[in-house]
């Protein structure tokens, strides 16, 4: 029975169950069995779980190739038993010797596939490690293992790790493994045991690390913490000829309720920041509007002051003109009275009052004021009106 769990089958009485492997997909370091001529193919062949073997055990064969020995024996038998010419007998003997020599020559050359090394044994113990290529060796050396020199990606999921504040965290760590000493790996531990040892060492190192940090701080685990884990795990695997050449955190997951709470808090913070920005914008708009209203009020006040100043200047100049030419002002007033009287005389809808001059004077004063915008002193009061009949002339509208 193989030491690799992926190749073992369940020992039950049902023959159908014998085809089902015991191993589960999380086993990542595996080995395979193959004859020497198919070792390179076995090293690149994936199993049902997609795993490539790290070690290929070579199925042992007789010291000489059986098929060549049978051919040589058949040739010798034909040369001795069948009555043939001497020349033909000699040729058959030569062919038999060539077959025996070929059987010996195949034992003196070993081919190691690319990306691997070969372990050879002499007299029942390990002799040497052969690099990739074709090697001329002692026919008594036996190739026992082909070990891959490629780096191996090893994924370690660690679930329900308690942080310093008691939160269960799930961490995934990816290791990059390399074979530093193939002989030590092959003869000190089996691949399946190495898989379990790597899993246990990594989980222990991750739990120790996570216990010292808070849950939120675990989300920031980076290359520095991964390098510390790599050094810790490498020290445990060094005795088995394996190097840990790299480590990286691929996933750190908090419990779903805590993640939802963090997302809600983050969303609330974003919303508060957005509301602050909206409030600040509203305040800026209000300040701008207040400033604009103040500027408009200041402009209106300045316009009123300029208008008042202009009116004061105009009135002052009018006073100066009236004081300088009082007769001319009286003349203008009388002329305006005459024009108003003429206008009233031609207006059929006007109301004429006899016996008083107040109406005409008021009309003249109003017309003068509306003409130049100034205030003309009223004319002296007229004599009291004579009693008249309360009849007037009113044009129908």
- The tens digit of pLDDT for each residue in 97-117 reads 777 677 666 677 888 999 999
- The tens digit of pLDDT for each residue in 243-275 reads 999 999 999 998 888 888 887 888 888 888 899
Report H helices in 154-255: 182-188, 191-210, 215-218, 223-237
Half-sphere exposure of 130 (CA within 13 A, CB side): 25
| 166 and 232 part of one domain | yes
pLDDT for the residue 269: 87
In whole angstroms, give the CA distance from residue 26 to residue 158. Answer: 12
Average pLDDT, integer, range 21-39? 75
| 14 and 143 part of one domain | yes
The answer to whether residue 76 is domain-embedded is: yes
| 181 and 295 part of one domain | no
pLDDT for the residue 131: 93
pLDDT for the residue 106: 66
pLDDT for the residue 25: 44
pLDDT for the residue 67: 65
Model confidence at 353, pLDDT cuts 50, 70, 90, reads low
- Among 132, 148, 164, residue at a domain's last position: 148
Angle between helices 256-324 and 326-345 (to 10 degrees): 100
pLDDT for the residue 173: 94
| 317 and 348 part of one domain | no
Model confidence at 61, pLDDT cuts 50, 70, 90, reads low
The answer to whether residue 185 is domain-embedded is: yes
Angle between helices 223-237 and 191-210 (to 10 degrees): 140
**pTM metric for this prediction:** 0.57
User: In this structure, are residues 182 and 119 in contact, taking their beta carbons and an 8 Å threshold?
Assistant: yes
pLDDT for the residue 74: 76
pLDDT for the residue 267: 84
Lowest mean pLDDT among 134-148, 172-186, 242-256, 357-371: 357-371
| 127 and 13 part of one domain | yes
* Total number of domains in the chain: 4
CA 170 centroid distance within chain: 20
Range of the structural domain that residue 129 is part of: 5-148
- The tens digit of pLDDT for each residue in 214-238 reads 988 888 899 999 999 999 999 999 9
The answer to whether residue 63 is domain-embedded is: yes
Average pLDDT, integer, range 183-201? 93
């Amino acid at each position: 029975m193989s030491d690799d769990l992926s190749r073992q089958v369940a020992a039950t009485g049902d023959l159908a169950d014998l085809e089902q492997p015991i191993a589960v997909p999380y086993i990542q370091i595996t080995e395979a069995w193959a004859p020497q001529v198919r070792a390179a193919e076995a090293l690149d062949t994936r199993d049902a779980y997609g795993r490539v073997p790290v070690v290929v055990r070579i199925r042992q064969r007789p010291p000489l190739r059986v098929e060549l020995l049978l051919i040589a024996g058949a040739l010798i038998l034909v040369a001795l038993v069948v009555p043939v010419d001497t020349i033909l007998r000699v040729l058959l003997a030569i062919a038999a010797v060539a077959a025996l020599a070929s059987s010996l020559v195949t034992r003196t050359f070993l081919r190691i596939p690319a990306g691997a090394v070969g372990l050879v044994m002499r007299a029942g113990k390990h002799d040497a490690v052969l690099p990739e290529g074709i090697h001329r060796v002692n026919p008594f050396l036996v190739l026992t293992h082909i070990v891959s020199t490629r780096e191996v990606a090893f994924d370690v999921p660690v679930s329900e790790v308690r942080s310093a504040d008691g939160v269960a965290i799930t961490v995934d760590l990816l290791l990059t493994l390399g074979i530093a000493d193939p002989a030590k790996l092959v003869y000190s531990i089996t691949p399946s045991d190495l898989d379990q040892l790597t899993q246990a060492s990594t989980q222990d190192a991750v739990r120790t690390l996570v216990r010292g940090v808070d849950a939120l701080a675990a989300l920031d685990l980076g290359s520095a913490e991964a390098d510390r884990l790599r050094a810790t795990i490498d020290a445990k695997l060094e005795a088995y000829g394996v190097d840990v050449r790299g480590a990286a955190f691929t996933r750190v997951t908090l419990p779903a309720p805590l993640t939802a709470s963090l997302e809600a808090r983050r969303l609330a913070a974003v919303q508060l920041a957005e509301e602050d920005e909206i409030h600040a914008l509203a305040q800026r708009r209000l300040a701008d509007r207040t400033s604009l209203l103040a500027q408009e009020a200041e402009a209106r006040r300045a316009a009123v002051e300029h208008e008042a100043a202009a009116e004061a200047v105009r009135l002052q100049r009018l006073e100066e003109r009236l004081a300088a030419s009082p007769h001319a002002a009286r003349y203008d007033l009388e002329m305006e009275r005459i024009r108003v009287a003429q206008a009233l005389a031609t207006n059929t809808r006007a109301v004429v009052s006899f016996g008083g001059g107040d109406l005409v004077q008021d009309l003249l004063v109003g017309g003068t004021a509306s003409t130049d915008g100034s205030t003309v002193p009223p004319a002296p009061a007229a004599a009291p009106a004579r009693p008249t009949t309360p009849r007037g002339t009113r044009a129908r509208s």
